[in-house]
Structure 1
Amino acid sequence: MSTLRIEFCGEHYTAAEGEDFVIGREGDLEIDDNPYLHRRFLLITQENGLWWIANVGTLLSATVSDGSGGVQAWLPPGARLPVVFPFVQVLFSAGATTYDFTIQNDAQYFSTTHIHAGASGTTTIGAVPLTSSQRLLVVALSEQVLAQDSPGRGQIPSNAEAAERLGWPLTTFNRKLDNVCEKLDKVGVAGLRGGRGKLATNRRARLVEYAVASHLVSRDDLVLLERNAAGGAGPRVPGDGE
């Protein structure tokens, strides 16, 4: 039987055979003393020769990726997934904070190095083209998560804070955020649009989780923010195809 090695904030943990591994405000991996985070949120267990990660919370969801960005899944409350890749990244948000940790699996069941979207399109989503201003917006929201030296935690800025970071009017930022979420929703990214009254914070968090997990943006893109601040991209953006 394989073992799982988990990394969070530079610390390493091991999921032992025959024992449950609990992740949350309390448990084997105590993420943070965040009141928005469940005491028991994610549960890693063995069953039928496989490791599984289950969402045992009631409100929060998690984004699980194979690490390459080729396969990504949304894990809502009550759902579970087998850990079948050699490297897995897990991201989730509680309040205005996004957390991420990684899992290394000794048993390499599948490799996604050369995987492409299948005919069904149910497990992979192809590259989504972003305009230059849309990419800037996503990078601004993901900045703290992307800037981490190791998996851990990052704050998600409010719309007003991100707009100020970019030098944009808030109305411009809000419009472009709507357009990015609509574009990703149309290609099947779950959790970005909801019914009336959907909290904007939840939408921003899901956007950051998806963008980082799928490698839609990366640490290399942080330079775009500095160029924008220096005037390379201009403080006020034109329509830019939205």
Structure 2
Amino acid sequence: MVEQARAGQAPRLQLEFAGEWFTLDPSRPFVIGREGDLTVDDNQYLHRAFLEVHHRDGLWWLANVGSRLSATVSSAGGAVQSWLSPGARLPIVFSDASIVFTAGPTTYEIGAHIDDASFSLSTEHRRRSSGETTVMPVGLTELQKLLIVALAEPMLRRDGVGVSELPSSAAAADRLGWTMSRFNRKLDNVCDKLDRMGVQGLRGGVGKLASNRRARLVEYAVSSQLVTRADLALLDDAALRETDED
């Protein structure tokens, strides 16, 4: 999956959020949250200090210093993806990576860029990701993908914006011309399918509200490129929306 480039001192790391760039100082930690070096948003659901980036042992590390929220970290193209839970940390080793997290109904994305990264995608995976080979391991139906696109529409339509408000289930169902029972049934199906594949945060239960499940679904689908901006065309396919498929 990956090829190691070289060992040595960690090169310059830059973070990009909502069109603003930050060059990190390896001599001190960089804090991301409701307060800190990168103030993401005045969102009551977001920790004051949520993520911390620091330099250690020749590498840049991303640590989750919050107590509730998790983040998804993926390489460009979504070939490699990690779930960063509270208390966990991982090295940032790819030249381009995406850090996506959800606080309440809002999903945020931060880009991480390293000039001379420690690892790169293998030639075989680059060939697969380029479109020469089509790989769809999730096996979503057209309507399941359409549902995800409807929920992710604000995030997919953004241009250089790191914050997106997710639509409610009622708004997404109305966008598709579906009844709420149909929408909820298909949401259950797609979440169950991804949960069986090991995607965390989609299983309902005590303390896990429907809004959080929708946000996690969008977070995973966008960061892994399960849906992309090109899929927005599906929303204009009236025949597809009217298809009766479980």
Aligned length: 228
Offset at 1:140? 0.7
Q: CA deviation at 1:195?
A: 3.0
Is there any run of 5+ residues in structure 1 with no aligned partner, and where?
Answer: 117-124
Q: Find out whether 1:147 has 2:157 as its counterpart.
A: yes
Whole-angstrom distance in 2 between the partners of 1:170 and 1:113: 44
Q: Are 2:225 and 1:233 equivalent residues in the alignment?
A: no
CA-CA distance at 1:112 after TM superposition: 2.0
Work out whether residues 107 and 165 of structure 2, in 8 Å CA contact, stay in contact via their aligned partners in 1: yes
Deviations 1:134-180 (A, max 9, x none): 11100011111111112501011111111011110010010000100
Unaligned runs of 5+ in 2: 1-8, 126-134
Determine if the alignment matches structure 1 residue 205 to structure 2 residue 215: yes
Cα distance in 2 for residues equivalent to 1:88 and 1:238:
38
- RMSD (CA atoms): 1.6
Aligned ranges for residues 44-193 of structure 1 at < 5 Å? 44-112=53-121, 114=123, 127-193=137-203
Identity %: 55
Partner SS state of residue 39, structure 1: coil
What TM-score results when the alignment is normalised by the length of structure 2?
0.88
Which amino acid is the alignment partner of residue 233 of structure 2?
A: V
Quick one: distance in 1 between partners of 2:204 and 2:175? 27
How far off its partner does 1:187 sit?
1.2
Structure with greater proportional helix content:
2
Deviation at 1:237, TM superposition (A): 3.5
Q: Secondary structure at the match of 1:33?
A: coil
Do the aligned partners of residues 147 and 233 (structure 1) sit closer, same or farther apart at CA in structure 2, a change above 3 Å counting?
Answer: same
Which deviates more from structure 2 when the two are superposed, residues 186-195 or residues 52-61? 186-195
Contact kept in structure 2, 1:63 and 1:91, CA below 8 Å = yes
Find the residue that maps to 1:111 and give its secondary structure.
strand
3-state DSSP of counterpart to 1:68: helix
Q: C-alpha displacement at 1:34, in angstroms?
A: 0.8
Give the TM-score normalised by the residue count of structure 1: 0.89
1:126 deviation in Å?
Answer: 6.6
**Other-structure match for 1:215:** 225
Residue 198 of structure 1, CA deviation: 2.4
| CA drift at 1:130 | 1.2
Q: Kindly tell me: are residues 219 and 21 of structure 1, through their superposed partners in 2, closer, same or farther at Cα, counting changes over 3 Å?
A: same
Amino acid at match of 1:169: T
Listed one character per residue, the Cα deviations across residues 68-121 of structure 1 (whole Å, up to 9, x for unaligned) are 1111111111111100111110111111110001000123211125465xxxxx
